[in-house]
Amino acid sequence: MKIVVAGGTGFIGNVLVQRLVKRADVVVLSRHASSVKHGRGVAWNPPQAGPWTNEIADADVVINLAGENIGAGRWTEARKRALESSRMDATHALVYAMKIAPKKERALINASAVGFYGDRGDETLDESSGAGAGFLAELTAKWEAAARAAEPFARVVISRFGVVLDDDGGALAKMLLPFKLGIGGRIGSGEQWMSWIHRDDVIRFIEWAVDQRSARGVYNVTSPEPVRNRDFVKALGRALRRPTVFPVPGFMLHLLFGQMADETILGGQRVMPARAVKEGFTFAHSSIAESLEHAMRN
């Protein structure tokens, strides 16, 4: 089996590739191919074409995790353009390359995010729920539409990730310092829902989607037990054996990060992984308390 991974050096991709190389020839597409430590690095620079197109054309599975970090800073107009182009250019390039061999049986597993649903308060959401409003909802909708362009010649699986947790990167790594210092606390009201997923389960889901040939369409890749921010904070404090009595005012985050804070930190979604559960995927980490304890032990 040949698997091509775009975004294979990031927080999710690096660990995923280390798993996949045990079972397949893994090509990692990177602008800095010489720095790829796991798998076979191949240079690419979408939307420019290059030799990488042939790697994709004869791949059995293409996994697209490419895209700049949504939560890395304030969403200026320039930043919004960069977030969109990093996703759209990569996805269009992958789909274009797959068209070279349209009759080949293959799968495209494409990342997305639960931000697709927008800030929906206490509404319980599953894959049948419609798109929400806001920049992130619009961006993910465009991203998913670009991936669906491969449906005539690929089994397309769109993975709407929740907040991915582990201690060496992502959102959790950014939170740890104040909590370790004992000055962590709820964010804003603490009432906003957080749909989360342990990174181990993200990797397991992607492998499941590779193997489950009946899997196609949209899947929420989130724990079946979403939590409010206040409950997440309490669980993190217990995992670190630290108090959580210093709330972060919402207005301060809005002043610092603007729309990014409003949509990703102060807003939230109560998302359920209905399709994955129905189709037999099991979560190794369903409880936020157990997941955070596990992350802190590793």
- Specify if 205 maps to a domain: yes
Mean pLDDT score, 76-87: 96
Q: What is the per-residue pLDDT across 244-266, written as a single tens digit (0 to 9) for each?
A: 989 999 988 898 889 999 999 99
- Specify if 181 maps to a domain: no
Beta carbons of 202 and 10 less than 8 angstroms apart: no
- Specify if 105 maps to a domain: yes
pTM: 0.95
d(CA 173, CA 195): 17
Look up the domain containing 30 and give its range. Answer: 2-162+198-221+272-279
The CATH number covering residue 26 comes to: 3.40.50.720
Task: Supply the mean pLDDT for the chain.
Answer: 94
- Specify if 183 maps to a domain: no
- Specify if 67 maps to a domain: yes
Predicted confidence band at 298 (pLDDT cuts at 50, 70, 90)?
low
Output the pLDDT for position 270. Answer: 98
- Specify if 135 maps to a domain: yes
First to last CA, the chain: 31
The contacts of residue 25 (CB under 8 Å, 6+ apart) are 1, 2, 3, 40
Among 52-56, 69-73, 233-237, the least confident range = 69-73
> Is residue 131's pLDDT more than 70?
yes
> Is residue 186's pLDDT more than 90?
yes
> Is residue 160's pLDDT more than 70?
yes
Output the pLDDT for position 142. Answer: 98
Output the pLDDT for position 25. Answer: 96
Residue with tokens 């920049």: 135
Beta strands in the chain (DSSP E): 2-6, 25-30, 40-43, 61-64, 107-113, 124-125, 155-161, 163-165, 193-194, 196-198, 217-221, 227-228, 270-271
Give the strand pairing for 227-228 and 193-194: antiparallel
Q: What is the per-residue pLDDT across 85-115, written as a single tens digit (0 to 9) for each?
A: 999 999 999 999 999 988 889 999 999 999 9
- Specify if 64 maps to a domain: yes
d(CA 189, CA 151): 42
- Specify if 212 maps to a domain: yes
Number of C-beta neighbours around residue 195 at 10 A? 27
Q: What percent of the chain has a predicted confidence (pLDDT) above 90?
A: 81
Q: What is the per-residue pLDDT across 221-236, written as a single tens digit (0 to 9) for each?
A: 999 999 999 999 999 9
Predicted confidence band at 49 (pLDDT cuts at 50, 70, 90)?
confident
Share of the chain residues as helix, strand and coil, in percent rounded to the nearest 5: 40, 20, 40
> Is residue 272's pLDDT more than 70?
yes
Output the pLDDT for position 50. Answer: 87
d(CA 107, CA 274): 21
Closest CA to 220 of 171, 178, 277: 277
Number of domains in the chain: 1
